Structures are given as structure tokens and as C-alpha cells.
A = this chain, B = another copy of it.
Amino acid sequence: MKTINIGILGYGVVGAGVAKLLKQKKQLLESRTGAVLNLMTIADIDTTTDRGLDLGTTALVSDAYKIIDDPAIDIVVETIGGETIARQFILKALENKKHVVTANKALLAGYGNDLVKTARKNLVDLAFEASCGGCMPIIKSLRESLVANNIKSMSAILNGTCNYILTKISKDGSSFEDALKDAQDLGYAEAEPSLDIDGFDTAHKLAILNSLAHGMEINLKDIHVEGIRNITPVDIEFARSFGYTIKLLAIGKFHDDHVEARVHPTMISDSNPLSHVDKSMNAIVIDADATGQTMLYGHGAGMMPTASAVLSDIADIARNIILGIKRRVPILGYPEDNIKIIPILPMKELYTRYYLRFEAQDHPGVLAKISGILGENNISIKSVHQKGRNSNGKVPVVMITHIAKEAWVQKALKQISKTDSVIGDPVVIRIEEIAQE
């Protein structure tokens, strides 16, 4: 049986998970792939902390180049994360003709096009199933299963931290701050949580998925990103009364000459399967022209779910090595020569429906003023909801609009803010309708 030598860069949570699977599932993996997947070397600056794993013959070294430059290593697994040293290591590994498996979405979103080019030049594979949606087979589905489909749209919950916090606010009426604190105590959120809660991690994943879905270059910088810091129990309660749930969604839609790519809190109706995805679970709904609506659901993070996805990439590459082939499926699903640059729609050009909540002064004519300004800006209102006055004498006024242009809405809101009818900034949450099947 052929032996395939693997090196892992980074012995943190994910790296240790990969090592654990390679050790504990040795027999299973041999039986299923027909190869010995030999974990030859792990490199980490910390070579002393005990990760509770019997490494056997595997070397633990502090110098990454002991893997990257080792001619015996076939597959380099990068689980360091970040965009600086990981990038340098991956580029060098690819140049050394090693296949690379990574879970690093930030790196792929920022520099993926370069990495793909380098892999191509060196005729090796670059695989990243674990970068989006943890153990859910999103990448394989887009690259292989949906091969005969044009993807019309994707909407996805891709950050477990945000989904946990939103579920917590929704179920317990917690404030955002309390829900974040709870997520931090449980280890779902980092001490510095911005990457997750401000939507950037979700945007990284969307940049990758949009590329695979539509055969386009990875484009992170034009994705509109909003996080969940401003979500309150009040808005979640209003949403519920309309049959909506609030989720942080990554939305990618294909139009003939452009795509939409945006990350923001979104109201979705209870008939949308994503509305039932709670706590730290992730899910993606893909609407494709032949399949119609499909959904994948699972753990989007965590040691073993992420390691499982890394192993599926390793096994794919191992099967190729045994058969003497490589680059069987194009890295981004389409051959590099056919990958297009497709522009992302500027946010101000978006047409969608809106939930608007104002803190209105409780005096006559306020509603007429607000709705007048909206009307002047071509925004028609589907429904208005006004609750009794608050203890502070202010009245929350909620409006659901018909489809309107983002530019109109922003302009109208600026005008409304300038009047003495409302206090503070209005809350704006976009509403996403998924066609019912």
C-alpha cells in the first residue's frame, strides 16, 4: 500500500483535530482510500504543550520549513490561520510542488487568486473544504455535485458565533452585550470578537463561495459587510410579530452581468429553512437552476467538524496521488482560463425590502412626516406598526417597505433624521424573501 506523507503547519485546535483523526482513524482511512496517510511532521512554535495526543513516530518541530522543504512530504496542511506567515508558508509549499490543504478563509478571501495561480504554475492542488461551513460539504457540492447547474442565489449562515448570539437574544430576550458575554464564556466567541460579530468572517466565506458558484475571481473588497452589534431584542420581537427571524446572512446572487455579495443582519420568514437554524449551527441554501432549492446544515466550526473537512480534502488528494494524477477538479470549480471578473453590485444599487424602526416624538403629524419623506423618495410602505409610547415618551414606529432601492432608502433616512420627528438613527434591517418551493 502506498504511503502518503503529510505535514501539518500549526498545532492549535484544528491542527490537533487533524492529527487526532489521522492517528485514530488510521485503519478506516487506509481501508477507504487505499493509502497509508502518514502524519510525518507537525510544526508549531510551541513544541512543549501537551495536546493529549500520542504522536508516535510523528515529529513535532518548531521550524515550518522542516515540512515545507522536506522532499518526502506530499501534502502540507496549513492550520495556522491569518494572512501573513500562513501565506508565506503556503506559497513556498506550492512552489515546492506540494499539495496544500487549508482551512484559512481570511487568507483565501484576501489572496486566494494568487494562491490559485501559484498552485496552477506548479501543477499542484490547493484544497479548502474546511474554509467555509466547517464540516458541511459546500465546496465539494459547488465544485462537483452542482456541476451542471447555474447557481442563481445562495444565502447562508456561516458564522456560529453570530448565530449563537442572535439565537440567545431571540430566545432569552438578552441584550447583545449579555449574549456576547455568554458566547465568550462558552468559548463560542473570542475575547476580541470583531472578526465574527462585525461580519468579516462571514464575508471571507462569501467571497470564496461566490467565486466557486459563479466562476469568478475571488473578490472580498467589494462585499458590503454589516455585523450584528446593533441588533436589539426590540427588533427581534417586532420581527417575530411579522413572522420573521433575524439572521446574519451571507447573500450571493447571480445576475447576467454582475453579482450581489452582501453580509448583513437579515429578516427571513419562518418558511425559509434558514430560520430554523439555531445556536452555533451553520447552513447554506443554494438555489440552482436544475436542482431548485437545496440546503446543507451542520457545525460550521469546532475542532473535529473542521478536521473532518480537512480529512476529506486529504483523502481526495491521496486518491489522486495513488492513481498518479493531480488537479482532477479545478481549484475554483472552473478552469483558471475560464474564471471571469464579475463586478459586485454597489450596495446603493440594491433593490430589496426593508424593515425600518424609528424612535418617534409623540406629537401629531409625525407619522405623516416620516411617510411623506419616504413617499417623496419613491419608497412605498407595505405596513406600519406603532406601539404605545415608551416610558421615555417616545413612540417606536416600525415600517415594512415594498421593494425599494438602497440609495432611495439611505437618502430618505438622512432626510428623516434631520427633522425633529425622530430621535437618533433609525434601525434598518433588510428583508430577504426566498421563493417558496
Chain A positions within 8 Å of B, measured between CB atoms, are 21, 25, 28-29, 31-34, 129, 134-137, 140-141, 144-150, 215, 273, 276, 279, 281, 283, 288-299, 302, 304-305, 307-309, 311-312, 315-316, 319-320, 323-325, 328-330, 333-335, 338, 437
Contact = CB atoms under 8 A, between A and B. Distances in A.
A403 to B, nearest CB: 26
Given A31-B334, A140-B137, A140-B145, A299 B304 contact: no
A309 B324 CA distance: 27
A188 to B, nearest CB: 13
Given A137-B145, A147-B311, A296-B296, A32 B330 contact: yes
A28 B150 contact: yes
A335 B148 contact: no
Given A34-B335, A148-B315, 13 more contacts: A31-B215, A32-B147, A32-B335, A134-B291, A137-B140, A137-B141, A137-B145, A140-B140, A148-B312, A149-B308, A293-B299, A294-B296, A299-B437
A427 B25 CA distance: 44
9 tightest A-B CB contacts, nearest first: A294-B298, A148-B311, A135-B291, A295-B297, A290-B308, A137-B145, A147-B315, A290-B304, A323-B325
Contact of A295 (B33, B298, B437): B298
Contact of A137 (B28, B137, B307): B137
A315 B145 CA distance: 9
Nearest to A325: B323
